[in-house]
A and B are shown apart, each in its own frame.
Chain A
Amino acid sequence: MPITPGLAGWELPATAPYSATRNVIGDFARAIGALDPLHHDPQAARAAGHPDVVAPVTFPMVIAFQAVSALLADPAVGIELRYVVHAEQRFVSSRLVVAGDVLTARLTVESVRSAAGTDVLATRSEVVTVEGEHVCTASATLAHRPPPVAEQ
Chain B
Amino acid sequence: MGLRVGSTPEPRTYPVTRAHLVAYAGASGDRNPIHWSDRAAREIGLPGVVAHGMYTLALAGRAVADWAGGPERVLELGARFTRPVVVPDDDLGVDVRVTGTVAATEHPATVRVELTVTCADRKVLGAARALVRVEPDA
CB within 8 Å of B: which residues of A? 24, 27-28, 30-34, 36, 38, 48, 50, 54, 56-58, 61-62, 65-66, 69, 82, 85-93, 95-96, 139, 141
Contacts and interface: CB of A to CB of B under 8 A. Distances in A.
Contacts of A61: 28, 54
A58 B23 contact: no
Interface string B78-105: 1111000000000000000000000000
A92 B130 CA distance: 9
B74 interface: yes
B71 A62 contact: no
Contacts of B58: 32, 34, 56-58
B30 interface: yes
Interface in B9-28: 14-15, 20, 23-24, 26-28
Contacts of B76: 90-93
Interface of A is mostly: mixed
Of the four ranges (under 10, 10 to 19, 20 to 34, 35 or more), the interface on chain B belongs to 20 to 34
B2 interface: no
B27 A24 contact: yes
B71 A54 contact: yes
B62 to A, nearest CB: 5
Nearest to B66: A36
